[in-house]
Every structure is written in structure tokens, then in C-alpha cells.
């Protein structure tokens, strides 16, 4: 009864092979974030002075004071290669969206202000402030596992979207346009790429 054996073998192996095939379509490094849709973790971070010898400012940015504004937080570092790819996009879009009430912040991730200032100069400037995150505490609060990662926070203080890897023009435009169009709240929880 060979056909019987063949059928049993097929029935036994097909689901396993199907499971493996499904596994191959998934990226094991992609970690789903629970943050989109939830309140953005509070933070208070000092603004990195624009020059080493600049007078020390006591500027601190607190998320609580940003209520009612849309906030884009871009975690980056001078040693991060992918950050070089996305920097021109942020450079171009930050001033445009600032006029519409969107605040952009860079957050220094495991870097030194000196190295970062050199990097910014080399990249042709940065039209928004960089915040200093000692001990990566804010990064950990945001469930960061690498740079670059970009968080979009709605006017209601909720995380609207988390983007892993270099952020693109399309992602920024799509996310910010829908947040601006939604007015008060977060239009769609979820997203993330």
C-alpha cells in the first residue's frame, strides 16, 4: 500500500514545511513595538550646546511641555552609518514642518557631544536641536534597540508611529500629514515599519 504511506508522509511533512516557509518570510530582527498607540514615555533631556565653548545653557526639553504639538524624535549617533542616509531627509523636512507646528528633536545615542558636533558640521548642519540622553535612559524608556529609530508623537502625547532604520521622506510625510489632518488625536495607532 504505497499510496497510503505517501499520503501519510505528505500529511506529516506539509504543515511543517509550510511553517518553515512562513518563517522565511519574516525578519527575525524586526521586533514589534508595543508603544504605538500608548502614551509616550515622559522625558526631560538637556539640549546639547551648539559648540563646546558655548556658554552652558540650562535648556531642558520636557515632553510634558510639548503637549498640543506633534513631536518627531530621531535617535541617532555619529558612528551610525544608516543615520547618514536619513540626515538629508530630516534636514529638508524639519524646517518645512516646523512652520506647521511640528517639533523635531535629535536624541544623542551613545555618543559624545564633540563627536556629534563634528558629524553635524560634516553633514552640513542640523536645523533642529539635539538632546543629550545620559546612560541611554530615555532610549531604554522608548524600547530602543539600535539607531536610527524615529518616533512620531501626536498632539495627545501618544506614540503614533515608530520607525526602525533610516527614515524616508515618504514615511515622514505620510505620518505627519495624517497627524496634522487628524487635528487633536492620534489618527491610527499602529504603523511602525
Partner 1 sequence: MRNVIAIGLALLAAIGPIDAQAPSASRPTPAADSLLDARTREVASGLRCPVCQGESIEQSPAELAVELKGVVREQLAAGRTPEQVREYFVARYGEWILLEPRPTGFNATLYLVPPLLLLGGAVVIVVLLRRWTRAGAAQPAGASLDDELLD
Residues interacting with partner 1, by CB under 8 A? 1, 4-5, 8, 31-35, 38, 41, 110, 135-137, 140-146
Distances from the Cα of 128 to the Cα of 16, 74, 168, angstroms: 51, 11, 17
Nearest distance from C-beta of residue 75 to partner 1, angstroms: 12
Looking at the Cβ atoms of 35 and 102, the one nearer to partner 1 is 35
Q: Say which DSSP state 40 is in.
A: P
CA–chain centroid gap for 166, Å, is: 9
Looking at the Cβ atoms of 126 and 150, the one nearer to partner 1 is 150
Nearest distance from C-beta of residue 41 to partner 1, angstroms: 7
How many angstroms separate the CA atoms of 58 and 51, rounded? 14
Nearest distance from C-beta of residue 53 to partner 1, angstroms: 29
Nearest distance from C-beta of residue 143 to partner 1, angstroms: 4
Looking at the Cβ atoms of 142 and 152, the one nearer to partner 1 is 142
Looking at the Cβ atoms of 8 and 174, the one nearer to partner 1 is 8
To the nearest 10°, report the CA torsion of 172, 173, 177, 179: -10
Nearest distance from C-beta of residue 124 to partner 1, angstroms: 29
Quick one: residue 121, left, alpha or beta (phi over 0 = left, psi -120 to 50 = alpha)?
alpha
Looking at the Cβ atoms of 113 and 143, the one nearer to partner 1 is 143
Strands in 18-83 per DSSP E: 44-47, 60-62, 70-76
Amino acid at each position: 500500500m504505497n499510496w497510503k504511506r505517501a499520503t501519510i508522509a505528505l500529511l506529516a511533512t506539509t504543515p511543517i514545511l509550510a511553517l518553515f516557509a512562513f518563517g522565511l518570510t519574516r525578519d527575525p530582527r524586526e521586533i514589534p513595538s508595543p508603544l504605538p498607540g500608548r502614551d509616550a514615555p515622559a522625558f526631560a533631556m538637556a539640549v546639547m550646546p551648539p559648540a563646546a565653548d558655548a556658554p552652558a545653557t540650562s535648556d531642558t526639553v520636557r515632553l510634558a511641555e510639548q503637549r498640543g504639538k506633534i513631536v518627531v524624535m530621531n535617535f541617532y549617533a555619529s558612528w551610525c552609518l544608516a543615520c547618514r542616509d536619513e540626515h538629508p531627509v530630516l534636514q529638508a523636512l524639519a524646517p518645512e514642518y516646523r512652520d506647521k507646528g511640528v517639533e523635531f528633536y535629535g536624541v544623542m545615542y551613545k555618543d559624545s557631544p564633540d563627536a556629534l558636533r563634528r558629524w553635524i558640521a560634516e553633514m552640513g548642519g542640523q536645523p533642529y536641536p539635539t538632546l543629550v540622553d545620559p546612560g541611554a535612559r530615555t532610549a531604554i524608556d522608548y524600547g530602543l534597540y539600535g539607531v536610527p529609530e524615529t518616533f512620531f508623537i501626536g498632539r495627545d502625547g501618544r506614540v503614533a508611529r515608530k520607525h526602525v532604520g533610516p527614515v524616508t521622506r515618504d514615511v515622514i510625510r505620510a505620518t505627519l500629514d495624517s497627524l496634522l489632518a487628524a487635528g487633536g488625536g492620534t489618527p491610527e495607532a499602529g504603523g511602525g515599519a
